[in-house]
Amino acid sequence: MDDCEQLFTKPLDWCIFKSIMTNQDSEYFSEEGLKKLKDDIETLKTKTRREIADRLEYAKSLGDLSENSEYQEAKEAQVLNETQIVELEDALRRAVVVKKSNGKDYIDIGSRVVLERTDQPGTKLEFFVVGSNESSPGENKISNESPLGGALWKRKKNEVVSVPTPKGKVEYKILEIF
């Protein structure tokens, strides 16, 4: 057991900490996504911490902490908040900012692509390929690590890609890359 490991009260805490801190994979962000990440960290460190501290103070004022559910809930919220801060700061540490892909003839992070399902001619779909932390299907932002994003990676206009889905493979033709 090393000195750092002794700081943690539960073995699981140490395992989670070590896992997070040794993950050296890059996290890809647009400039906007990196700004949002920094804003989220700042909110968690200031506003959310303050709200949790207020909840803890109130719960302490109620008396006996051993049977105080409000206190226990606030402590759990505190642990979740601090875990989220550590995870987001780790992503920030590994962040790589990717500029928009203007002029590239292949799909990369930052590319906007127009696709057509080969089994449904005339049905066009438009997506933005982003890093995993920025993905938002509702906004048509797909992760480069998703099945579709991975299939599109480094592909060129007019290529056909096959994507595994629960109902079988779906093929898409790449119509445009912006």
**Which pLDDT belongs to residue 102?**
65
**Which pLDDT belongs to residue 31?**
87
Three-state DSSP state, 127: strand
- What ranges do the domains of the chain cover? 26-97, 112-177
- pTM for the predicted model, two decimal places: 0.70
- 112-177 adopts what CATH topology? Chitinase A; domain 3 (3.10.50)
Please tell me the distance from the alpha carbon of residue 125 to that of residue 114, in angstroms, as a whole number: 6
| CATH architecture of the domain with residue range 26-97 | Orthogonal Bundle (1.10)
Per-residue pLDDT reduced to its tens digit, 118-149:
999 998 999 999 998 899 999 999 999 999 99
Please tell me the distance from the alpha carbon of residue 165 to that of residue 96, in angstroms, as a whole number: 29
- 39's enclosing H/E stretch is helix 31-43
On average, the pLDDT of the chain sits at 86
